[in-house]
Amino acid sequence: MRLARLLFSAADVRRKLRAVSSLAENAGATEHERANAASLKVRLQQRLKEAGEPAGDWTDNAFRLGRQVKELTKGTSPGSPKGDWTDNAFRLGKALRRGYKKWL
């Protein structure tokens, strides 16, 4: 859940950044609106940089995939150690099955 919240917040910041950029480039906006938009744009870009995420191109998808894989590997339980009794039981069952098939 923490990862999803981080991804959604970065997406929200990018959406706001696009809106502010379009306002700053709008010819019909007043000088004060452009100045406010420019300062807000700088703050939003700083927030994205502090989040440590890529700029929103194809590397963003690769970054998200890497984060998800990293979270998946953390959540798995360690595998059973080799050489415990279940390995021997598996081999015994396999041998019995082969013998039973030959016997039939």
H/E stretch holding 15 reads: helix 2-25
Mean pLDDT, the chain, rounded, equals 76
44 touches 20 (CB < 8 A): yes
What is the rounded CA–CA span in Å between residue 48 and residue 72?
A: 24
Read off the pLDDT of residues 61-98 as tens digits, 9 standing for 90 and up.
777 788 888 887 776 666 666 667 788 888 899 999 99
Q: How high is the pLDDT of residue 19?
A: 78
Q: Does the structure show a pLDDT above 70 at 29? A: yes
Burial of 7 (0-12, 13-18, 19+ CB in 10 A): middle
What is the rounded CA–CA span in Å between residue 81 and residue 101?
A: 30
What is the rounded CA–CA span in Å between residue 29 and residue 52?
A: 32
